[in-house]
A and B are shown apart, each in its own frame.
Chain A
Amino acid sequence: MRVKVALFATCLTDTFFPETARAVVRLLERLDCTVEFPLDQTCCGQMHFNTGYRELSKPLARKYTDVFGSYDYVVAPSGSCAGMVREIHPTLGESPPRTFELAEFLVDVLGVTDVGAWFPHRVTYHPTCHSLRMLGVGDKPLALLRAVKALDLVELPDSTQCCGFGGTFAVKNAETSTAMLADKMRCVLDTGAEVLCAGDNSCLMHIGGGLSRLRTGVRPVHLAEILASTEEDPWRATP
C-alpha cells in the first residue's frame, strides 16, 4: 500500500530553495509514497515564537493543525520546523498531526536507509541543533548518506557545535553569530569536502552564506537533494 504523505515545505524552502522541496517529492514518490502539498500551508511560527512573539505564533500553529490535521504523516525537510511543530505547538494549545523530519520519516516510518541514490561528490554532514537535540534524529541522516553510491563521506570536526544561525540571533547578535560561523566554516574547510550537507536549509543558508562570501568553493546542499539524486537523473547545481 502506498503511504500518503503531506509535504510541509516550510516557508523558507518554499520561497528560497524550491529545488529541495522538489527533491523531497521526487524521493518520496520513488519510494512509493503519494505526496500531497496542501496549498494553504504557510509558516509554522517558529521565528515569531523564538523571538518572543508567542501570541503571534499561536494563529500560525492553529493554521498548521487546520491544514495538516487530516494527514497521518506530515514530512518537513527541516529538523527545526518539525521540532517547532512537535515540541512547541503542543505548548500553544495545539494537537498537531504526526510530523517528521525527512531522515526520521525515511528510516523510522518507511524503514529504508538505502534509497537508491547516487552522488559522486565529497560530502561532509552538519547535524543541525534542533534535529540533534530537539528531535533526537541521531545518526539517521548519516546512515542514509553512507548508503548513497559513489558518495565520499568525510566526518565534520566538532560537528555538534551550533553554526551560529539561531534565527533572529544571527541579526540580533550578528558578531557572536559570525564568530560561531567562522569556526564552523573552518571545520567544513578542514574536511576538504566540496559539498556541505544538512537537513535544514536555514542552517545551510547561514553556513552557505559565509562559504559563498569567502568564495570557498564549497556548496551547501540539502540532504533531500542528495538522496533524490540518481545515476539516471543526477543532482545538478542550480546556478
Chain B
Amino acid sequence: MARNPVTWLGSPTFPKAAKEALNDTQLRQNLRKATGTIRGRRAAAVAEMTDWEMLRVAGEQIKDDVLARLDTLLVQLEESVTARGGVVHWARDAEEANRIVLDLCRAEQATEVVKVKSMATAEIGLNEALEAGGVQAIETDLAELIVQLGEDRPSHILVPAIHRNRSEIREIFQRRMGVEVSDEPADLAEAARVYLRQKFLTTKVAISGANFAVADTGSIVVLESEGNGRMCLTLPDTLITVMGIEKLVPSWQDLEVFLQLLPRSSTAERMNPYTSVWTGVTPGDGPQNFHLVLIDNGRTATLTDSVGRQALRCIRCSACLNVCPVYERTGGQSYGSVYPGPIGAILTPQLMGDLHDPLAASLPYASSLCGACFEVCPVRIDIPSVLTHLRAEVVEAKGRTAESVAMSAAAWIFREASRYEKAQKAGSLARFLAKDGKITSLPWPGSKWTSSRDVPAPPSESFRAWWRKNRCQE
C-alpha cells in the first residue's frame, strides 16, 4: 500500500521539530502576534451569542448523527448529486483519489487548474500528484498562494502562511511574480489579484474542497473570505470537488447551525464574506461538468474507534490552533502534517493508522493537556480525552521500554501505602543533593527538567510523617 501523504515524508518527531522551530525568533514573533489577535477577536465574536453553548451542542449532535449513519447518508448524497447532473467518484485512499482527479484533468486536456483552498486535497498531496502527471495546480487563496510561491509548507489550517510576516511575503512575491511591490497589505493583495485574475479567466478546470455537503439536496457548500473561491466555482467549465466522507450534513436546515459556528470560530466574523452553494449542474450557469470525489483515506478506520471518532466532527475552523499554547510557540510545521495543532495531534495519527510510526506516535504527546482547545471547539471535540486515549495506544504499540518499566515500578509502589512510604523516605535523601534548598542538576531523564528549572529539596519530613507524629494516638 502506498504511504499516506497526510504526514510529510521525512519529517522528524514533534519534539525534534519543535526544538528547531523554537529557535526561530521571527516565527515566534509572527505567531505570537497572529494567534494573540485572532484569539481576542474570536472571544469577542462568540461572546455576542447568547446561545453559543447550545449551538455547540447542536453541532456536536448533528455531526455524531452523521457519523452514525454515514453509510446511508453517503449513498443518499450520491443519489442527490447524480440526479442533479453531477458525477460521484469514491476513493479509498490518497493514491486512488489523486488518480481519479488526474484522469479527469486529462480528459479535459487541462495542463493548468485553479484551486480553491482545500484541506482534503492538501491531505492527499494532490498538487504534487498532478504535477507529476503534467498538470500545474494554481492555488488561488492568498495565504495558500504565498505558501505555494514560497515553495513552503502550510503551518495553519485556515491561514497556511501564518508563519510569514508581510516583509517575507513581499520578498516571495517579488521573487516569484517578478513585480515591484511594497509590504503594505493592500499592495500585496493587489499584486496577488493581478496575478490570479488572468488564471481565473483562462483556466478551464477548477478543483475545490467542501465545507459541507447536504445529503438530501446534494448541495455542496464552500465558505471563504476572498472571493477567489467564487471565481473558481463559477468561471471554469469543469469543477472537481474533493471531499472527506465526513463532511456531510443530513439536511439543508442543519446548515443553519454550522454557518453560525464556523465563521465565528475560524475568522471571528459574524458571517464570512462569501458562501457558495451549488447543486449538481445548472444548464447555462456555472461549470457544466461537476465531479465529486469522496475520499476515505483513513476515515472509516477512525470511525471504528469509539473515543477517537469524535475527531471526525471537525469542521476545520482552526480555533484550537489559535488558542493552543504549544502551537503558538512551535508553529504548525513542527507537526509534520497538513493538520497541525491540537486537532492535528489527534487526527493525523488516526488517519495514518500507524502508531509505530515515530512521528505519528509523538503527536498525541504534543500537548500539555491544558484543555484550551476543547473549550473553544465549536463541535465540542474533547481533544484532551482523545489525546490520552491515543497515548494509551502508543504505549501499547511501543511495548516494553525504559519508560514503561519505570511506570510499572511507580505504579507498583503506589499500590501499597507501605511501599510508597518507604520510597518517600528513600527519595527524601535526595535533599542531600540540594544546595540552598534546591537541586539544580539531575541525571537523565531528570536533566530534562533541571535544564531550565530547579527542583525543591525534598523535606526531611513528609506530611504523612508529620501527621503520624502529631495526630495519631496509637
> Do A and B interact?
yes
A95 at the interface (CB under 8 A from B): no
B407 at the interface (CB under 8 A from A): yes
From B369, B415, B465, give the contact of A166 (CB < 8 A): B369
From A15, A49, A57, give the contact of B424 (CB < 8 A): A15
CB distance from B39 to the nearest CB of A (A): 10
User: If A178-B452, A209-B449 touch, does A43 touch B459 (CB 8 Å cutoff)?
Assistant: no
- How far, in angstroms, from A147 to B366 measured CA to CA in the complex? 39
- How far, in angstroms, from A173 to B13 measured CA to CA in the complex? 11
Contact string, A143-163, partner B, CB cutoff 8 A, digits 1/0? 000000000000000001110
Q: Are A173 and B452 in contact (CB under 8 A)?
A: no
- How far, in angstroms, from A209 to B453 measured CA to CA in the complex? 4
User: If A15-B427, A175-B22 touch, does A170 touch B325 (CB 8 Å cutoff)?
Assistant: no
Q: Are A15 and B370 in contact (CB under 8 A)?
A: no
A134 at the interface (CB under 8 A from B): yes
- How far, in angstroms, from A180 to B329 measured CA to CA in the complex? 8
From A13, A22, A42, A166, give the contact of B420 (CB < 8 A): A42
* CB neighbors of A among B434-474 (8 A): 437-438, 440, 445, 448-449, 451-456, 458-459, 461-468, 471-472
From B329, B395, B420, B440, give the contact of A52 (CB < 8 A): B395
B375 at the interface (CB under 8 A from A): yes
Q: Are A208 and B388 in contact (CB under 8 A)?
A: no
A172 at the interface (CB under 8 A from B): yes
- Name the residue on B nearest A208 (C-beta): B456
From B18, B417, B451, B456, give the contact of A39 (CB < 8 A): B417
CB distance from A122 to the nearest CB of B (A): 22
- How far, in angstroms, from A41 to B467 measured CA to CA in the complex? 13
Q: Is the interface of B mostly helix, strand, loop or mixed?
A: helix
B174 at the interface (CB under 8 A from A): no
Q: Are B417 and A169 in contact (CB under 8 A)?
A: no
Q: Are A175 and B19 in contact (CB under 8 A)?
A: yes
B253 at the interface (CB under 8 A from A): no
From A17, A54, A161, give the contact of B388 (CB < 8 A): A54
Interface range on chain A (Cβ under 8 Å from partner): 35 or more
B408 at the interface (CB under 8 A from A): yes
CB distance from A188 to the nearest CB of B (A): 14
A48 at the interface (CB under 8 A from B): yes
Q: Are B464 and A176 in contact (CB under 8 A)?
A: no
* CB neighbors of B among A96-125 (8 A): none
A164 at the interface (CB under 8 A from B): yes
Q: Are B392 and A52 in contact (CB under 8 A)?
A: yes
CB distance from A81 to the nearest CB of B (A): 13
Contact string, A225-239, partner B, CB cutoff 8 A, digits 1/0? 000000000000011
User: If A39-B468, A133-B370, A133-B372 touch, does A63 touch B415 (CB 8 Å cutoff)?
Assistant: yes
Complex contacts, A42 vs chain B, CB 8 Å: 413-417, 420
From B15, B407, B416, give the contact of A173 (CB < 8 A): B15
Q: Are A60 and B448 in contact (CB under 8 A)?
A: no
Q: Which residue among A9, A42, A55, A130 has the maximum number of chain B CB atoms within 10 Å of its CB?
A: A42
CB distance from B51 to the nearest CB of A (A): 20
CB distance from B451 to the nearest CB of A (A): 6
- Name the residue on A nearest B404 (C-beta): A53
- Name the residue on A nearest B439 (C-beta): A209
User: If A133-B375, A174-B449 touch, does A161 touch B466 (CB 8 Å cutoff)?
Assistant: no
User: If A9-B463, A15-B458, A42-B417 touch, does A134 touch B371 (CB 8 Å cutoff)?
Assistant: yes
Complex contacts, A43 vs chain B, CB 8 Å: 414, 420
Q: Are A129 and B371 in contact (CB under 8 A)?
A: yes
- How far, in angstroms, from A85 to B329 measured CA to CA in the complex? 31
Q: Are A53 and B365 in contact (CB under 8 A)?
A: no
Q: Are A170 and B440 in contact (CB under 8 A)?
A: no
Complex contacts, A60 vs chain B, CB 8 Å: 411, 414-415
Complex contacts, A209 vs chain B, CB 8 Å: 449, 452-456
From B329, B403, B464, B471, give the contact of A9 (CB < 8 A): B464
Complex contacts, A132 vs chain B, CB 8 Å: 371
Contact string, B19-36, partner A, CB cutoff 8 A, digits 1/0? 100100000100000000
* CB neighbors of A among B384-404 (8 A): 388, 391-395, 403-404
- B interface, CB within 8 angstroms of A: 14-15, 18-19, 22, 28, 325-326, 329-330, 364-372, 374-375, 388, 391-395, 403-404, 407-408, 410-411, 413-417, 420, 424, 427-428, 437-438, 440, 445, 448-449, 451-456, 458-459, 461-468, 471-472
- A interface, CB within 8 angstroms of B: 9, 11, 13-19, 21-22, 37, 39-43, 45, 47-57, 59-60, 63, 129-130, 132-134, 160-162, 164-181, 183, 205-206, 208-210, 212-213, 238-239
Nearest 4 pairs of A and B residues by beta carbon: A166-B368, A209-B453, A52-B391, A162-B370
Known pairs A63-B414, A173-B14, A210-B453 / 5 extra A-B pairs, C-beta < 8 Å = A14-B424, A15-B463, A18-B466, A174-B448, A213-B452
